[in-house]
Amino acid sequence: MRPLDPRLVRRIGPARRHIIVTAGLGFLTALLILVQALLIARLLAPVLSPTPLTDDGLRWWGGVVPESARTLATGLTALAVIVALRTALTWLQERLAHRAGVQVVSQLREMVVAHVATLGPRWAAGGRTADIATLVTRGLDDLLPYFVRYLPQLALAVTVTPVMMVVVLGLDWLSAVIVIATLPLVPVFMVLVGLLTQERSARHLEAMQRLGTRTLDLIEGLPTLKALGRERGPAARVRELGDAQRRATMGSLRIAFLSGMVLELLTTLAVAIVAVTMGFRLIAGDIGIETALAVLVLAPEVYLPVRNVGTHFHASADGLAAADAAFTLLDESDPTHVRASLGEAPDPRGRELRVDGLSVATPDGARLAPAALSFTAAPGAITVLRGPNGEGKSTALLALTGLLAPDEGTVAVGDTPVLRDDAAVALDGWLAHVAWVPQRPDLGPAGRTLSLGQRQRRALSRAFDSGRAIVLLDEPTSHLDRESRAEVIAAIRSLADSGATVVVATHEPEVVAAADAMVEVTGALTSTVEPANTGEDAS
């Protein structure tokens, strides 16, 4: 996992402003903390010094917080102002922080969805859309910590840390040396620990996931076990798997937490060493109390951004994995996009729709459904596609829309070819003539609240009222009661009478009875078809 994924950074776009605002507010807060440290030193130094203070312990930075802050009234007032400002800044930062992320997440989500929508029906038949919906909602939401916490902290680590170091250098060079010497050790040790443990960690992680999957497997199978009266057996197995998973998880955590320990150990120990060193130098009179106090308060703040980067990086891991999956998806492309063009779409009005030898392979490639389907649908007639489930009736209709490229065969209007396996007419022009109502039609998010029957009727009336020359209906009477079925069949009849070419896939006897022409759709195993094809190719 990289600290900055260039693919993500490129997409930040308008969110850059919000990230800069968040980081900017963080930077201002750090400056206030700086002033606060100097103020505390000013306030405490007079009462802790055994002799009256003569020189300015803050040296170069005395200009920022003048010596007048040594008096209680001035110093405390200034401190109170700083506290008020810090509170306001913290409030504002938290109020705006989420904006740095939500827009990027929304944009990425919209891109993935738009891309998947172009991948075509064959891809959609793979049944991955539910997983992708989870990826683009819950998955991408996990990216928020990356943009909202991690990136601003990364910006602070490269801006605040140097500023703090320069200030410490201005106060006391020896403390600055200790800080500068230990700071690079933090990333070095973390990388070292990471490298040494990566392999073991990956192995544990794999074992962990495998065991987790198995436990869920047992719970998922519970209805099956219950249906066979065998639900009591696996409880002990759930426990066993759980214990194994715990051991594997603890094994990986023991290693994963090491880097956190190194981080805390180095940063805290460095602060302790700075304090102790200053203590002995105070006794020797090498350094003043005011300087020592300022450095003591500032030292932990130098390390703070670095520590926060470490913390938030791990919180971003899930989101980064989701982003990676999203980018992989964006790289997948639709084969129908590379089909050759057969020119402009012909006007099918009043002309026969001819299908010749149409074959489409199923997603697993084992069967052709339909296999070598040939028929002619006349304008003004109802052509019914019939056959058992899974033989390719719906797929045949889909192929007629042109959105699904067939594996074999042609579709033509009269003598003008519309589509082949490797070529198609301009699809937008063709689709302007085609109305298509699938099973379970989609009418947008609002349609999802309607019952299946209501959705079916709305989708059908959209098709009936469209005035398009070719109307493709997939099981138009399912989810409807007897009365509505009769109405729908009458509407199909009058649609045909008005001259439209109507192709209906159904096994409803009432619809079949209304048909002017009947076509049996059958599938075939790929293996039984291939020899015939080879024969054809050879001839």
Partner 1 sequence: MSAGDVRVDWRALREAVRDTGLRAWPLTRAVLAGTVALGSAVGLSAVAAWLIAKAAQMPSPADVALAATIVRTFGVSRGLFRYLERLASHDAALRGVVTLRERVYDRLAGSGARTVMGLRRGDIVARMGGDLDAVGDVVVRALIPLGVAVTVSAISIAIVAVLLPLAGVVLAACLLAAGLVPAVLTLRSARIAAVEGTKARAEVTAAALSAMDGATEHRVWGTSSAAARALRDADADAEHAHELAARPAAWAVGAQSLFSGIALVALVGLGVLAVRAGDLEGPLAAIVALLPLAAFEAVGAVPTAVMQLFRSATAAHRLRSLTPAEGEATADATPASSPSTSPATLELRDLRAAWPGMTPTRPVTATVPPGGVLAIVGRSGIGKTTLLTTIAGALEPAGGAALLGGAVVTPAHTGHAIAMTAEDAHVFGTTVLENLRVARGSVTEDEAWDVLELVGLAPWVRSLPAGLDTELGADGRSVSGGERRRLLLARTALAPAPVLLVDEPAEHLDAAGALALRALVSRVRGEGRTVVLVTHDLALLDIADQVVSLDG
For residue 443, the tally of other CB atoms under 10 A from its CB is 14
Return the number of the residue (43 or 382) whose C-beta is nearest partner 1.
43
Rounded Cα distance, 104 and 16, in Å = 9
The answer to the question of residue 95 lying near partner 1 (CB under 8 A) is yes
Torsion angle, CA of 3/157/87/142, rounded to 10 degrees?
Answer: 0
- Between 17 and 138, whose beta carbon lies closer to partner 1? 138
Instruction: Kindly indicate which of the ranges 189-197, 376-384, 417-425, 435-443 contains the residues binding partner 1, using the contact rule CB under 8 A.
Output: 435-443
Nearest-angstrom CA–CA distance, 432 and 409: 23
Considering the rule CB under 8 A, would residue 479 count as an interface residue with partner 1? yes
Q: What tokens does 264 get? A: 């805390």
CA distance 313 to 166: 26
**Least distance (Å) between residue 489 CB and partner 1:** 16
Per-residue interface string for the shown chain with partner 1, residues 296-335, x marking contact by CB under 8 A? xx--------------------------------------
Long-range contact pairs involving 12-20 (C-beta distance under 8 Å, separation at least 24): 12/104, 12/147, 13/104, 13/107, 14/103, 15/99, 15/100, 15/101, 15/103, 15/104, 15/147, 18/96, 18/99, 18/100, 18/103, 19/100, 19/147, 19/151, 19/152, 19/155, 20/155
Q: Is 119 in the site for partner 1 (CB under 8 A)?
A: yes
Nearer to partner 1, 363 or 497 (CB): 363
Q: Which amino acid type is present at position 112?
A: V
Cβ distance to partner 1 smaller for residue 158 or 223? 223
Residues between 215 and 274 that touch partner 1 (CB under 8 A): 215-235, 238-239, 242-243, 245-246, 249-250, 253-254, 257-258, 260-266, 268-273
For residue 6, the minimal CB distance to partner 1 (Å) is 24
Distance in Å, CB of 353 to partner 1, minimum: 16
Exactly one of 329, 438, 450, 522 binds partner 1 (CB under 8 A); that residue is: 438
- Residues with Cβ within 8 Å of 384's Cβ and at least 6 positions away in sequence, in order, are 504, 505, 506, 511, 512, 515, 517, 518, 519
40 binds partner 1 (CB under 8 A): yes
* 84 lies in the site for partner 1, by CB under 8 A: yes
Taking CB under 8 A as the rule, does residue 350 contact partner 1? Answer: no
Binders of partner 1 among 387-426, rule CB under 8 A?
A: 388-390, 398, 401, 403
Q: List the x/- string, 366-385, binding to partner 1 by CB under 8 A.
A: x-------------------
Where do runs of H (alpha helix) occur along 183-287? 185-220, 222-227, 235-284
Site for partner 1 in 439-478 (CB under 8 A): 441-442, 444-445, 447-448, 462, 478
